[in-house]
Amino acid sequence: MTTRGKRTGAGSAAPFAIKYDLAYSANTTVRILRGTTEFNVISRDVQESGGTKTVQWNLKDASGKTAPRGSYTVEVTAKNTGRTTETKTAYVFIY
């Protein structure tokens, strides 16, 4: 599994695309972290087939407040029965 992150400007109206590749079918969870604290959960335990996937982050926290400038970690976890759980991260900088 691979993930990709990038920079985005503060106050951006468009959602931020989070792309990741799955080598096999898995249940995935996509979380946004600020430091070590969970900032938002984009999707939780979603069954997906292998291939390239994209989810959107609206640049807001779980309560709907706009994310302040700073560094965020995108964490994608894939779980598959009979296979090891795999977690990958990418970094997003809001400036």
Global pTM value? 0.85
Query: How many helices (H) and strands (E) are present in the chain, helices listed first?
Result: 0, 8
- Reading the block at residue 43, the tokens are 């999707």
What does the pLDDT look like over 8-19, one tens digit per residue? 555 555 688 999
**% of the chain with per-residue pLDDT over 90:** 69
Answer for the pair 1, 49: CB distance below 8 angstroms, yes or no: no
Amino acid at 83: R
- Reading the block at residue 53, the tokens are 């996937």
What does the pLDDT look like over 63-85, one tens digit per residue? 999 999 999 999 999 998 777 79
Q: Which residues make beta-bridge pairs with 90?
A: 74
What does the pLDDT look like over 25-50, one tens digit per residue? 999 999 999 999 999 999 999 999 99
Q: How far apart are CA 95 and CA 69, in angstroms?
A: 5
Residue 6 has pLDDT above 60, yes or no: no
